[in-house]
Amino acid sequence: MARKMELQCPMPKFDFDVITLGHGSGGLLTNKLLESGVFDLLSNEALDAHHDGAVLDLDGPVAFSTDSFVISPIFFPGGDIGELAVNGTINDVAMCGARPRFISLSFILEEGLPIEDFWKILVSIRQACENAGVKVVTGDTKVVEKGKGDQIFINTTGLGTIHPQARIHHRRIRPGDKIIVSNQIAAHGVAILSVRQGLTFNTTIESDTAALHEPILDLLDRWGPAVKLLRDPTRGGLAATLNELARDTGLGYILQETALPIAAQVRAACEMLGLDPLYIANEGVFLAVAAPEHAEAMTERLRQHPLCRHAAVIGEVAEQPAGGVLITQPLGGKRPVSMPIGEQLPRIC
């Protein structure tokens, strides 16, 4: 994704080129790795205390969410595992109707990871945090032997303060509610797949990784409880998310195929690869279930945000099919959208 600012963070002079087991020892090497730049790069009052945990002040109810990132490859068009790990957890917190404020950052590094790659990822983490206004306040670094991991896995766990107008719960969904998608779908999964397979298209398809809390908080400022549910359809795509909602609410979710916003080159790539965009992971898109009387105004408002230019009402909630998801095709036929079974694209996030 386009960055709001470009950080200039030259790598400090490390006296090692790759990560070794000793960097996970808790001893001098761990300290060298952290002191030689990591703490400086991510500096803030809580992290600078160098304690086992951070002490934070949070007013009122908080949202708390965790995610481990194991994406392969770790650098991909439009982002890298560091940016993804920050944005992904920010989004999970935002989907609770909260403003993300603090994250923890925990690395599992594979012995032999080049320090330069680690540094790039760290800079990307800082950049993503600055863009989103969140702070890394506590962390952990472990190292596993070569062949017992895969370069780098990152866990981020986020904390945010719930918006005072947020009333996000699937129990509030009613037949007639509208389903809004915030932007064009399927870019992340197609970007990862294309780089894995060495495919080239006319233009590079980039991951849509982005922090989505700003447009969400704006919706909550304006419409509060009319926003009934928020979800980011990552692994398993819209199909998995809507099937989970259908299961949890016992209602039907009916999409209009012609309403789905999909970039032309993503659609073309999906057709070429035989993939259904409904099942492909997104990292910069959210679904909102909204009270019908406000859905169009919300969508209009969303389109004014740079991350949501293609927001659209894509369907609605109905009594039937109870617990199921349908899509209405261009000629009016309906087909069921089932829960994906296994792995279409492993390690997509």
Six token digits for residue 262: 């999909």
Six token digits for residue 208: 């849509």
Which residues does 3 contact at the CB level (< 8 Å), separation at least 6? 127, 131
Tokens 């708390």 identify what position? 64
Tokens 């995610």 identify what position? 67
How far apart (Å, rounded) are the C-alpha atoms in residues 250 and 239?
A: 16
| 336 upstream amide cis, omega within 30 of 0 | no
Shortest distance (Å) from residue 247 CB to a copy of itself? 8
Shortest distance (Å) from residue 288 CB to a copy of itself? 13
Shortest distance (Å) from residue 116 CB to a copy of itself? 21
Shortest distance (Å) from residue 161 CB to a copy of itself? 10
Q: What is the DSSP letter of 255?
A: E
How far apart (Å, rounded) are the C-alpha atoms in residues 279 and 139?
A: 33
Shortest distance (Å) from residue 328 CB to a copy of itself? 23
Neighbours of 52 (CB within 10 A): 7
Q: CA 81 → CA 49, 85, 157, 196, distances in Å?
A: 27, 6, 15, 15
Shortest distance (Å) from residue 86 CB to a copy of itself? 14
Shortest distance (Å) from residue 9 CB to a copy of itself? 23
Per-position b or e across 286-316, b if 16+ CB within 10 A of its CB:
bbbbbbeebbeebbebbeebebbebbbbbbb
Shortest distance (Å) from residue 235 CB to a copy of itself? 3
| 321 upstream amide cis, omega within 30 of 0 | yes
Phi/psi for 107 (5° steps) reads -105, 140
Q: Which is nearer to a copy of itself, 194 or 241 (CB)?
A: 241
Q: What is the DSSP letter of 279?
A: G
Which residues does 44 contact at the CB level (< 8 Å), separation at least 6? 135, 136, 137
